[in-house]
Amino acid sequence: MTGPRDWLTAALTRLVAGIAIVVPAALLLGASPAAAHPMPHSVVELDVYQASVSARLELPADDFSGASGIDLSDTTQATLSGKAEAIRTYLGKHIHPTSTGGKAWQVSIGELSLSSTEQTSTGPYRELVAEAVLTPPAGTDVRRFTFGYDVIVHQVITHTALVTVRQDWAAGQIEDEGTTQVGTIRVDTRTMTVPALKVDLGEGSAWRGFLAMLKLGGDHILTGTDHLLFLLILLLPAPLAATGRRWDGLVGARSALLRIGRITLAFTAGHSVALAVTALGRLDIPDWPVEAFIAASILVGAIHAIRPLFPGKEALVAGVFGLGHGMAFSFVLAEMHLSTGQLVTSLLGFNLGIELVQLLLVCLALPSLLVLARLRVQPTLRLAGALLTATAAVGWLADRLGLPNPVARAADSAGSHTTAMLAVLTVTALAATAWTLATRRHARPGPAEPAAVTCPEREGRHAATTCEPYDRDQSTDTANSAAT
């Protein structure tokens, strides 16, 4: 028979054992995600072109060093070139794309760089970025392939590589509009191997690319504060007449409309020609002189709105300055590295998107421009708008010449409020149209009053006195009575 002391000893032993199991389990289950120290993952961003795929590899430097044996702990961007050959050799051995038929693709590792970055819950870390070009054999499908990839993953079994598509023109996906996830690459813990990723991007078409570029062109002009500001500041004094070096009086509604139309068309022609020549010619033009030229054109337009610099020649100036704006538009297409056929289609779609949105904005601004010219406060509002535009232009010019400043940042941020801008333009256009219609209705003349008749017998002192209207029938009756 078990005594009370033995029973008590057994109960205490069970209690202690239970606490030893439950407490650590509760601590582990209740630990926050940060307590698990998650490691950053790799990212492989694909840009899909007509005959090749570019891959941007973003690799945590510490994990890369552990997997490759290439120590990057003390390496800087300046000293990275000393290890570039070893890095490229390692990457080339662990990237093996193949076609659906099993044919190997050619892999070329290009530019390498080191930077600091951060992922959610990981904190800051150093990152090795490598650019690679994956070229399939002739006649194989670039949109369907097997992506054999085990950089870092083959040694660090907890590591994950996230594969995404950043640009795929034929699918209507272009850069700077986010990425589409293709899949993840990790170790299969059952077989301890790294399975290749099957990539199937579906069917692409030129129509999808055209629509994507149409949207991009519209977004570019809508968010391009500098382009819009240049056009609007040239249109601001269009309804006004120039007398000497002053804006004085109006030119009439029809003349104002013709001026606005000529300025808009000239600007359209200028930037369309420059966009086509620069893009199709694949001209490699530095961006900062073009961007500085655009800022200078805005400043000239603002001064012209204050004092006439080239009255009557606004269309010519708009066309000349439009050439610079067109070169800036071409930088967007140049960064996409499209084939000639895709470039031609993109050029049409991109330019059409620009013109459609530009036409919409001019139509929304037109009623307000015509009404503003007829108001007494027009000089004050015009001067305020011109000074504000000139301030933004000076800020942009300084920034694009290498002097960053808060004015340029504030002016650039205005392009992020497109919804508010469209709402304001729409409301002011409706208000200006309603005001114009109401003004014309009140100014319409009423029925003509009958002409006053002066009685001959009341000439002289009573010459201003009117008499009853002359009755032809009454005078005839009087004459007949006299004859009788």
pLDDT tens profile 285-299: 888 999 999 999 999
179 pLDDT more than 90: no
Of 160-174, 314-328, 431-445, least confident by mean pLDDT is: 431-445
Distance separating alpha carbons of residues 48 and 52, to the nearest angstrom: 7
Q: What pLDDT was estimated at residue 369?
A: 87
Q: What pLDDT was estimated at residue 33?
A: 39
- Residue 123 confidence class, pLDDT cut points 50, 70, 90: confident
Distance separating alpha carbons of residues 164 and 320, to the nearest angstrom: 42
Of 155-159, 306-310, 331-335, least confident by mean pLDDT is: 331-335
66 pLDDT more than 50: yes
Mean pLDDT, the chain, rounded, equals 83
| Closest residue by Cα to residue 172 from 192, 201, 150 | 201
Share of residues in the chain with pLDDT > 90 (%): 49
381 pLDDT more than 60: yes
Q: What pLDDT was estimated at residue 121?
A: 61
The better pLDDT of the pair 419, 47 is held by 47
27 pLDDT more than 70: no
Total count of residues recorded for the chain: 484
Q: What pLDDT was estimated at residue 444?
A: 63
The better pLDDT of the pair 426, 478 is held by 426
470 pLDDT more than 50: no
Q: What pLDDT was estimated at residue 455?
A: 46
459 pLDDT more than 80: no
The better pLDDT of the pair 482, 99 is held by 99
- Residue 25 confidence class, pLDDT cut points 50, 70, 90: very low
Mean pLDDT of 189-211: 92
Of 51-55, 126-130, 177-181, 351-355, least confident by mean pLDDT is: 177-181
Distance separating alpha carbons of residues 358 and 321, to the nearest angstrom: 16
Distance separating alpha carbons of residues 361 and 260, to the nearest angstrom: 12
Of 154-168, 380-394, 416-430, least confident by mean pLDDT is: 416-430
Share of residues in the chain with pLDDT > 70 (%): 82
